[in-house]
Amino acid sequence: MSTDKKKIAVTTLGCKVNQFESAAFLSDFARHPEVALVPFSEPADVYVVNTCAVTAKAGAQSRQLIRRALRANPEARLVVTGCYAQVAAQEIMEIADCPICIVGNAFKHRLVEVVLSDRHCDLEMHLGNIAVQKEIAPLAATSFGERTRGYLKVQDGCNSFCAYCIVPYARGRSRSLAPDQAVAQAETLAAQGYKELVVTGIHLGHYGHDLSPKTSLATLMALLLEKNLPLRYRLSSLEPTEISEELLSLMAASPSIMPYLHIPLQSGDDRILKMMNRRYRAAAFAEVVANCLRHLPEAGIGVDVLVGFPGEDEQAFRHTYDLLASLPVSYLHVFPYSKRPGTPAAEMANQVAKEEKSRRVALLKELDREKRQAFYRRNLGRARQVLVEGGKPGRRLLKGFTDNYIPVEFPGSPDLANQLVEVRLEELGTNGMLGRIV
């Protein structure tokens, strides 16, 4: 490696959208012969920190990574982007005496240019007012490192303003990628050898509402399917109010869209849902789940639940627990509520004690374990398509996820990595299932 190459290290916190955007940076850097990409743990000339702000803890982790880069090489150029950079630029500037380049979410498409520039950073030029952005930042990724799945980001921003969430302030209003650009990115990733794309966005169900002519996620998926690319598609999180009959019918009819849905509930208590500014009620959520399974009887369904929101008393928590216990869902993602400065919930009365939140989280995590085991048992003896992700070092076991998102390990050759195979699910494992290639 030439010693005069500019060494660049990138690290990422947070969601699939952030992961996609970092992959786009790395894909762009790889086109520059004067650049050498190095791990974040190694000395570098430039450090890029793609931050998250979804919780106070994520903000603290973002600050830790910035300080770590400053310690690793105080002379390095430090470029900070992502949601924490958008909402807490002043806090970041106060971390260090040296200049820090801050690139707001609306200007992420200019990040590589900022990194490679010899000019001093102008904070305002790269931060901007995210609230007035009308166009999605034009980013494209051609590689996702060692990941088997690619990400297809088709939407950014959120109009919902849930009471606990900083994301609309960090990402701006909902903005969509034009359908032809989405198709072009899918074609590029298929040509790169990816077999599965995760279609993602900050508020994916709002895809196309801002475009002219207005369109929808179901219409985009139909357009992708028409291209007959050698791809299978997996949808990331969708709000319960946005899972349309058209989308479910399309999923049921097409083996290329995985029978898998991730649907945020957050609370099963109508009073708390209203305080959260969530636009549905518990009974409606239950009907959405039932309707999904009518169309897709073997689907894996994951649910987000937020525990200990201000005002959540024992009765409200019990409503949430009982609702989830009654639903035939596959797994739960359980999060304790965390105060996020700048959101309405942070100022609400009746904050729940940390010990009580921990108790409730533990109860729901045990329910999650029961739900997963029940779902796995329902799939015992069945053969399902699995995308092979690779194996465990020193063992002849490969691993991957079934179409309906069951983690599975099975004997096989490492040469099968990134291939689709049929696996019969034969046994419950510690963290998933054990199977055998059919």
Q: Is the pLDDT score of 125 beyond 60?
A: no
User: Higher confidence at residue 196 or residue 3?
Assistant: 196
Give the pLDDT confidence score for residue 189 in this predicted structure.
95
Give the pLDDT confidence score for residue 122 in this predicted structure.
59
Global pTM reads 0.88
Q: Are 204 and 233 in contact (CB under 8 A)?
A: no
The domain 6-128: what is its CATH number? 3.40.50.12160
Q: Is the pLDDT score of 123 beyond 60?
A: no
Q: Is the pLDDT score of 278 beyond 80?
A: yes
Mean pLDDT taken over the chain = 92
* Number of residues in the chain: 438
Give the pLDDT confidence score for residue 437 in this predicted structure.
97
In this predicted structure, which of 83-92, 138-147, 155-164, 225-234 has the lowest mean pLDDT?
138-147
Residues near 25 by Cβ (< 8 Å), separated by ≥ 6? 10, 48, 50, 108, 111, 112
Q: Is 273 helix (H, G, I), strand (E, B) or coil?
A: helix
Q: Is the pLDDT score of 334 beyond 80?
A: yes
Q: Is the pLDDT score of 1 beyond 60?
A: no
How many CB atoms are closer than 10 A to CB 356?
A: 16
Q: What is the pLDDT of residues 340-351, one digit of tens each?
A: 888 999 999 999
The Cα-based distances of 275 to 311, 334, 349, 364, 375 in angstroms read 9, 19, 12, 21, 32
The domain 383-437: what is its CATH number? 2.40.50
Q: Is the pLDDT score of 24 beyond 70?
A: yes
Strand order in the sheet with 196-201: 175-176, 150-156, 196-201, 232-235
Long-range contacts, stretch 398-402, CB < 8 angstroms, 24+ apart: 400/148, 402/300
The residue among 244, 240, 234, 232 whose CA lies nearest residue 208 is 244
Side-chain half-sphere of 119: how many Cα atoms within 13 Å? 8
User: Higher confidence at residue 339 or residue 2?
Assistant: 339
Distance CA 321, CA 180 (A): 43
Token pair listed for 284: 């409606």
Give the pLDDT confidence score for residue 137 in this predicted structure.
81
The top-scoring range by mean pLDDT among 156-170, 245-259, 410-424 is: 245-259
Q: Are 7 and 44 in contact (CB under 8 A)?
A: yes
Give the pLDDT confidence score for residue 2 in this predicted structure.
43
Q: Is the pLDDT score of 23 beyond 90?
A: yes
Pairing verdict, β 232-235 and 175-176: unpaired
Peptide bond into 411 cis (omega under 30): no
Question: Per-residue pLDDT averaged across 138-164, rounded?
Answer: 90
Q: Which CATH architecture describes the domain 133-258?
A: 2-Layer Sandwich (3.30)
Distance CA 178, CA 60 (A): 35
- Domain residue spans in the chain? 6-128, 133-258, 383-437
The residue among 206, 250, 193 whose CA lies nearest residue 224 is 250
The top-scoring range by mean pLDDT among 79-88, 134-143, 218-227, 387-396 is: 218-227
Distance CA 423, CA 182 (A): 31
Token pair listed for 394: 């020193």
The DSSP secondary-structure symbol of 120 reads: P
Q: Is the pLDDT score of 126 beyond 80?
A: no
Alpha helix segments (H runs only) across 332-414: 354-378
Residues near 12 by Cβ (< 8 Å), separated by ≥ 6? 18, 19, 22, 50, 82
Q: Is the pLDDT score of 390 beyond 80?
A: no
How many CB atoms are closer than 10 A to CB 124?
A: 10
Q: Is the pLDDT score of 284 beyond 60?
A: yes
Give the pLDDT confidence score for residue 147 in this predicted structure.
81
